[in-house]
Structure 1
Amino acid sequence: MSVLSRRNADEPAEEASRLLLRIGVFLLFVISLIAPILARQTVYVLLPIGAALLLAAATLTPEEGSGRSMRSILLSPPFLAALLLAAWTALSLLWTPFEGPAERFAKITATLALVALATGFLPLRTKTSNLNLLPIGVAAATIALAAVTLLVKPQYTLDDILDVGPLGRAGLGLALLVWPAMGALAVRGRWYSAAALAAATAIACYLSGAPNGVPALAIGAAAFAAAFGRARLMSIVFATLMAAIVLLAPLTAYAAHLIWPERTPGFFRHLAFWGQMIEADGWRTLIGHGFGAATWGVLGGYLTPATPRSLIFKIWFDLGALGAAAAALVAARTSLFVGQSRPALAPFLLGGLGAGFAICLFGPAAEQLWWLTLAGLDAIAFALVMRGQFRKRRPRLPIGWSAPAEDQA
């Protein structure tokens, strides 16, 4: 007779939930990073599918405390600040001079709502097997991106010239997601693997020609170094700094316009042009021109190509001072929230926040759907890592959980 000392078989619903969760994480952090390198539209399809699988997994076997977790997400200061920004953006559609922004706003709202639901219903503890898929996906995407840029001759379309091509988008996505991936490795003692992943990502971003991808990684590295060992203190410093940059950016632009009214150096050209626009706008600076006014203004020829492309400019131009105040609150609250995570993990997340803020500051990230989709993917990665079960050693097997053995008569 055989004597089996193992636990009873799990319920089918639990097994199905684990399978759906594993497939969802695989789609989000492996397939969603590799597929857009060759087909730009795939990320718009894979993110909703992956998020829906996470929701389905949570529905099959709801955990104790999952409701509290969802409420904590919905009532967290970053989410409430983002809700305030979304409400003001929706209100600005009343005075925007174009019709297209309403459809884009609906798509953005639906995408970010799905991200919020998926984040709220993630398991309270992320298993290591699921967490490993994040650095695996980032590593595979860096190899694929470097190989494509070296072996395939790029072919640019008109959309690529006006915005960012698929390779550039993939590079910017890696510049965001490499930070939670490195955090997942480093907190388990795999520092060499984290450093190798960072170096590979920097090379891939450089080869892909991602606009401001390498500077964003450099700023993220500086934020990581500053926060290492003092994450909570530096999260307060970063929150103050980011809020000040968002709120004081128009003053810097107006000062550049006053200093160089005619011949502006190349680095300050877009900034001085913004200062000229501020001088002409007057009271419109308070409420803005309405969501999407900057993007559709350039596409329609109402604004010159010299118009800045950064998210901070578009927030000020579209949503005015009230929208900028809400955006500054989102950035500050996110920094403070991330700074409260594990001391070993927080520096990596603050580095990722710094890299994302740099891309928003220098461009080309604005209210494009592809960028907000990448930001939503990054938010899910942050939540996944912050809920991780980190062990540097395998747990010991309890007594009585031995492997199957057979007694021979």
Structure 2
Amino acid sequence: MARSPALTADPSTDAAAMLRRLGFALLFFAIPIAALLTRRAVVVLAPMAVILLVLAAFIDDGSRGTRGRLLTVLTAPAGMAGMVLLLWTALSLIWTPFVEEASERLFNIFGMALLGLAGYLSLPDRMRSANLYILPVGVALSALLGMLIAFHGDFGFDPDGQSLERGMIVLALFVWPAVTWLHSRGRSLEALLLAVLVALEALVAQEPLALQCLAVGALGFAVTAISPRGGIRLIALVMAGLLLFAPFLPFVLKPLAVAATGAGSPLTASLDVWRHVVLGEPLRLVTGHGLETALRGRFFGLLPVNAPSTVLFEIWYELGLVGAVAGAVLLYSAIMKSGEQRPILAPGIMATFATAYAFGCFGIGTAQVWWFTALVLVVLIFVAIERGQFRTKRPKAVLHRSR
């Protein structure tokens, strides 16, 4: 007797499900754990995870409608601002003194953008909860592993001693999507415990930068939870405004820095360098000095060694007014668009924006490939979480009595 077609197993569907599960296991579980053990974990594992997701989409025909999705992304205000920023960054190669290094950095940025687009287009329209629950498990185990490393060392995996710091930064970004997913499934207590566990790890590992940025993210979460519309608009205005009006910051902050730390402190000296750059080369505020000059200029005498290492200074110094305006529009549009998602996701999304922006403002090396990769992965995770919200409760069975 022949089997019903509906009951016949579909090998392609099973293969796609397996590849997708492996991709999400790498993305949600392996990356946060491996980032604590080796510096190259994010850069190596992220493309592998996206490739698995792309293969799964092709196998089960989940790539349908990719053209429409791609046009939606590119024609959105944030997408157009991003393209302008990429174009201006490419044009800055004409006047940068470090053409070879800047070209390599631009290639990496462009590659990360393509990686993010490929991952976004390959995500299924509906995400299985079983795949998304891998994320909080991976974050929790990463936090416990970080505490173990803080007490007993890195077990010989990290001879340079930089993996714990990078791993903590990745974990500080990943914890908010994990908290958001648990909260969206009605597991608020588990979400709170997970956030406390990651904060304790940052405290035990003596990583003040991660702890400070987590605190900024928690503030963004609280403000958005109290007033969703007001919190989203406030965060968007603050982040875009700081970038747009960054050249005024050294003049505003200098008296405060002198009062708080003294006239000869490193912070005051750094602000003096920023003021000199603004006043000494006003025309360069329009075009910038070109890509890669903020970092490498310190080693070749173009900038003092104690120049600010914040992203607010680096964007203006390298890309000028055009790059800053494009970046501010990108930030504002992306934040406001993210606020249009399901209300239950908004606090976690805003917390992630605030945490990532705080890392950039407090001086993390935002020009490095692993940082761009981590940001792309966080975006993909939130897209996956949003697509996992199609059902919040199991349907109740209704029994009808026969008359």
- Secondary structure of the equivalent of 2:306? coil
Alpha carbons of structure 1 residues 103 and 325: separation in structure 2 relative to 1, 3 Å: same
Tell me the amino acid that sits aligned with residue 181 of structure 1. A
The offset of 1:120, in angstroms, is 2.3
Alpha carbons of structure 1 residues 157 and 31: separation in structure 2 relative to 1, 3 Å: closer
* Of 385-394 and 356-365, the range deviating more from structure 2: 385-394
- Unpaired runs of 5+ residues, structure 1, are 400-409
Aligned to 2:111: 110
1: CA distance between counterparts of 2:169 and 2:142?
12
Aligned to 2:212: 215
Alpha carbons of structure 1 residues 97 and 258: separation in structure 2 relative to 1, 3 Å: farther
The offset of 1:114, in angstroms, is 0.9
Identity rate, percent: 32
Tell me the amino acid that sits aligned with residue 241 of structure 2. A
* Of 43-52 and 63-72, the range deviating more from structure 2: 63-72
- Secondary structure of the equivalent of 1:172? helix
2: CA distance between counterparts of 1:180 and 1:392?
17
1:256-405 to 2 correspondences below 5 Å: 256=253, 263-389=263-389, 391=391, 393-395=393-395
Aligned to 1:31: 30
Q: Does residue 1:69 correspond to 2:66, yes or no?
A: no
Tell me the amino acid that sits aligned with residue 202 of structure 1. A
Aligned to 1:404: none
The offset of 1:273, in angstroms, is 2.1
Contact between 1:271 and 1:308, CA under 8 Å: does it hold in 2?
yes
- Secondary structure of the equivalent of 2:289? coil
Superimposed CA distance per residue, residues 317-364 of structure 1 (whole angstroms, 9 cap, x where no aligned partner): 100111111111111111101111111111111111111111111121
The offset of 1:154, in angstroms, is 9.6
The offset of 1:66, in angstroms, is 4.6
Tell me the amino acid that sits aligned with residue 354 of structure 1. A
Q: Does residue 1:173 correspond to 2:170, yes or no?
A: yes
2: CA distance between counterparts of 1:198 and 1:136?
12
Alpha carbons of structure 1 residues 170 and 390: separation in structure 2 relative to 1, 3 Å: farther
Aligned to 1:14: 13
Contact between 1:179 and 1:348, CA under 8 Å: does it hold in 2?
yes
The offset of 1:267, in angstroms, is 4.2
Contact between 1:254 and 1:275, CA under 8 Å: does it hold in 2?
yes
Aligned length: 393
- Secondary structure of the equivalent of 2:298? helix
Alpha carbons of structure 1 residues 140 and 88: separation in structure 2 relative to 1, 3 Å: same
The offset of 1:384, in angstroms, is 1.1
Superimposed CA distance per residue, residues 23-75 of structure 1 (whole angstroms, 9 cap, x where no aligned partner): 11111121111112111112211111111111111111224545433332333
TM-score by length of 2: 0.89
2:235 aligned residue (238, 248, 257): 238
The offset of 1:121, in angstroms, is 2.2
Alpha carbons of structure 1 residues 158 and 149: separation in structure 2 relative to 1, 3 Å: closer
Tell me the amino acid that sits aligned with residue 36 of structure 2. I
Q: Does residue 1:191 correspond to 2:192, yes or no?
A: no
1: CA distance between counterparts of 2:382 and 2:226?
19
Alpha carbons of structure 1 residues 157 and 264: separation in structure 2 relative to 1, 3 Å: farther
Alpha carbons of structure 1 residues 196 and 259: separation in structure 2 relative to 1, 3 Å: closer
Alpha carbons of structure 1 residues 80 and 9: separation in structure 2 relative to 1, 3 Å: farther
- Secondary structure of the equivalent of 1:103? helix
Alpha carbons of structure 1 residues 71 and 291: separation in structure 2 relative to 1, 3 Å: same
Tell me the amino acid that sits aligned with residue 122 of structure 2. F
The offset of 1:269, in angstroms, is 3.8
TM-score by length of 1: 0.88
- Secondary structure of the equivalent of 2:109? helix
- Unpaired runs of 5+ residues, structure 2, are none
- Secondary structure of the equivalent of 2:241? helix
Tell me the amino acid that sits aligned with residue 17 of structure 1. A
2: CA distance between counterparts of 1:95 and 1:57?
43
1: CA distance between counterparts of 2:388 and 2:221?
20
Q: Does residue 1:134 correspond to 2:131, yes or no?
A: no
